Amino acid sequence: MPPLLIIDHHNGIPAYRQIMDQLKLQIATGVLPAGTEMPSTRSLSTEISLNPMTISKAYSLLEHDGVLERRRGQTLVVRERSSSEAETNKQAHLRKHLTEAATMAHQLGISHAQALKLFRETLDSSTP
Amino acid sequence: MTSTTTATAPLLFENLTKNYAGQVALNAINLKIPAGHVVGLLGRNGAGKTTLLQVAAGLVLPTAGTCRTLGQRSDLLDSPELTRLGFVMQEAKFIEWMTVAQHLEFTASYYPNWDRDLQQRLTGILEVPVKRKIAELSTGDRQKVGILLGVCHRPALLLLDEPMSALDPIVRARMLDVILERLRDDGCTVVISSHLLSDVEKIVDWIVALEAGRVVENCALDELQESFAEWTVTAPDGSPLPAFTAPFILTQQRSERLVRLTVRTSEPDAVENFAASHGVTAQSRRLSLDEIFPLLLAAKKEVR
C-alpha cells in the first residue's frame, strides 16, 4: 500500500515540503518502518495527482537527509536508523510545534511558568 | 543564444513584441520555457497571456523579435512541428455542423500519430457527449472537445489557454489528471494560462507572470511560495510598535499593538532575525498563490 499523503494546495506550503514533512512524521511514528519501499515517482504522481517533478524533488531531498536510501539501484526505501538518531528526529519534530506555541505564549504575555504548567496539564489530559 | 540551448527549450521568445493597431500587447519579451515543466501563465485580463500563446502557436505574427516553437520560428511552423504541438484555445473554432465523433475523426485524419485508445479513454473520463452536434454543446462540453482535439496526437508541447473556466470542479480535477498523465507518459511540456489559480497550483511547477505585456516573474513555484510570507508582529509588553522599514517588506497593515507585514525574502531565518533585532515577537505564515499573485504585480510596479 502506498503511504497516505494528503496535500493541501491552499496553505502556501510547497507540495514537496508537505510530502517530506508527512513522510518524516510517518517514519518517526513507525507507520512506515525501516525497509518500507516507497512507490515510484510515477505511481505516486498518479496516486495523489501531483506533478512527478514535485515528488522526485521530495524524494531526492529525503535521500539527501538520510531518511530514505536507494537499494538495488532504483528502489527507494526507508533507511534503518539507530535508536538515538530516531529519538533526535522525534524531538526535532516536536520542537517545531513547541516553537510555534512558544511564540504564541510570548504574544499572549503568558509567563514561562504558566506556559509550562499548561503544557503539563495538556499532556496529562491527552494521555490515554 | 547558442543553437544547443535553442534546441532544448520547447519555447523561446527573443525580444518579442506584438502591437495591435498601435497598442502594445507584448513588449520585448525574453522568455525560455524549460522542457518537461508545467508552466502556469498568470496575469490579469489584457496582460498578454492569450497573445503570447497565439504567437507561440503561429496564429499571430510578431511585430518584432522571434518566437521559436519546438526549435522552429513560430511564423514558419509546418507539419513536423505542428504534429507535435497541441493548442487548446479559449474559444475554439469548431466545425459546428459535425457531431463530436465526426469532428474527432476529421481532426485525427490530419495526424499520423493520433492515439485512438487515448481518445476512447479520455472521452469516457471527461464524459464527452460524442453523438451530439458541436453546435448544440454547452460551453463546458465545448471545452472538453477542445482538450480532446489538443491532446490525442500526444504533443511534445501543449499550450492551454483558460482550458477549464466552464468545467465543474469534478471534471476540472479529472482534466488536471489528464494533463499530468501526458507529462508522465510523454514528458510533454505544458503551458497553461488560467484565472483559477488554486486549480493551476496543483499541477504547475513553474510560474510566468505577465503584466502589461511584460514578464514580471519567471521562477519555480516552490521558490515563489518559499519567498513570500505574512508576519504577524506584536511587542511582548504590549507597547506600541514602530514603523518597520526593510527592502523585503511589501505591505504593512497596522493597529495599535499589532502589525501585519507581507514580505518577500529567501533568507531562511528572516523572521527570527527580524524579531530578535526589533525586540518583538513575530509569527510567519505562508501565502497561497491566490494571495501571492496581487503582491507580485504590485511589487513589480513599485520597482519600475
> Quick one: pLDDT band at residue B299, thresholds 50, 70, 90?
low
Q: Is residue A8 part of a domain?
A: no
Q: Output the 3-class SS for B224-284.
A: HHHHEEEEEEECCCCCCCCCCCCCCEEEEEECCCEEEEEEECCCCCHHHHHHHHHCCEEEE
List the domain range (segments joined by +) for residue A97.
83-126
Exposure class string for B177-201: b at 16+ Cβ within 10 A, else e: ebbbbbbeebebbbbbbbeebebbb
Residue of A51, A61, A100, A103 to mutate, testing the B interface (most B Cβ within 10 Å of its Cβ): A51
Domain with CATH 3.40.50.300 in chain B: 3-212
pLDDT one-digit tens code per residue, B68-120? 999 999 999 998 999 999 999 888 889 999 999 999 999 999 999 999 999 99
Structure confidence at residue A107 (pLDDT): 79
A62 with A108, same domain?
A: no
A72 with A23, same domain?
A: yes
- Domain B224-303 fold is Alpha-Beta Plaits (3.30.70)
A66 with A103, same domain?
A: no
A49 with A102, same domain?
A: no
Domain with CATH 3.30.70 in chain B: 224-303
Interface of B with A (CB under 8 A): 36-38, 173, 176-177, 180-181, 183-184, 198, 201-205, 221-222, 225-226, 228, 232, 234, 236-238, 281-283, 285-292
Q: A-chain residues within 8 Å CB-CB of B227?
A: none
Q: Is residue A27 part of a domain?
A: yes
pLDDT one-digit tens code per residue, B184-202? 999 999 999 987 777 788 8
A59 with A101, same domain?
A: no
> Between chains, do A46 and B181 touch, taking CB under 8 Å as contact?
yes
> Between chains, do A14 and B222 touch, taking CB under 8 Å as contact?
yes
Q: Is residue A116 part of a domain?
A: yes
CB-nearest to A42 from B173, B184, B289 is: B184
Q: For domain B3-212, give the CATH superfamily.
A: P-loop containing nucleotide triphosphate hydrolases (3.40.50.300)
Structure confidence at residue B1 (pLDDT): 38
ipTM summary value: 0.82
A92 with A62, same domain?
A: no
A105 with A122, same domain?
A: yes
pLDDT one-digit tens code per residue, B13-52? 999 999 998 899 999 999 999 899 999 999 998 899 999 9
Task: Say how far apart CA A29 and CA A52 lie, in whole Å.
Answer: 26
What is the pTM (predicted TM-score) of this model? 0.87
Number of structural domains (chain A) is: 2
Task: Say how far apart CA B165 and CA B140 lie, in whole Å.
Answer: 8
Whether residue A3 has pLDDT greater than 70: yes
Q: Grid coordinates representing B124?
A: 469516457
Identify which of B115, B110, B122, B106 has the alpha carbon closest to the alpha carbon of residue B179.
B122
